[in-house]
Amino acid sequence: MKKLVLLPLALVFATNAAIAANSVDLRVTGTITPSACDISLTGGDFDLGTISGNELNATAATTLPSSAGKTLNITCSGATQVAFRAIDNRASSVPSGITQNAASAFGLGMDGANNPIGHYNIAVLQPTATVNGAAGQYKASDDAGSTWFGFGGSEVNLSSSDRSSRIGTLDLASSGPTSQPVPITSASTELKVTAMIQPESALDTSTEITLDGSATIELVYL
Q: Which of 3-12, 31-40, 43-52, 146-155 has the lowest mean pLDDT?
A: 3-12
The per-residue pLDDT of the chain, averaged, comes to 90
What's the number of domains the chain is made of? 1
Specify if 51 maps to a domain. Answer: no
Q: What is the CATH number of the domain that holds 64?
A: 2.60.40
Distances (CA, A) of 166 to 102, 137, 146, 149: 13, 16, 12, 11
Which pTM was predicted?
0.84
Residue 12, pLDDT > 80, answer no
Specify if 24 maps to a domain. Answer: no
Q: What pLDDT shows up at residue 9?
A: 46
pLDDT tens digits, residue range 80-139?
999 999 999 999 999 998 877 899 999 999 999 999 999 999 999 999 999 999 999 999
Q: What pLDDT shows up at residue 95?
A: 95
Specify if 106 maps to a domain. Answer: yes
Residue 3, pLDDT > 50, answer no
Q: What pLDDT band is residue 58 in, cutting at 50, 70 and 90?
A: very high
Q: By residue range, what is the domain housing residue 165?
A: 60-221
pLDDT tens digits, residue range 182-204?
999 999 999 999 999 999 999 99
Segment 175-181 shows an average pLDDT of 95
Is residue 82 a contact partner of residue 219, using CB atoms and an 8 Å limit? Answer: yes
Specify if 7 maps to a domain. Answer: no
Q: What pLDDT shows up at residue 4?
A: 44
- More confident of the two residues 13 and 76: 76
Specify if 14 maps to a domain. Answer: no
Residue 165, pLDDT > 80, answer yes
pLDDT tens digits, residue range 77-88?
999 999 999 999
Specify if 214 maps to a domain. Answer: yes
Specify if 121 maps to a domain. Answer: yes
Q: What pLDDT shows up at residue 6?
A: 47
In our burial notation (b when 16+ CB lie closer than 10 A, e otherwise), range 142-154 reads eeebeebebbeee
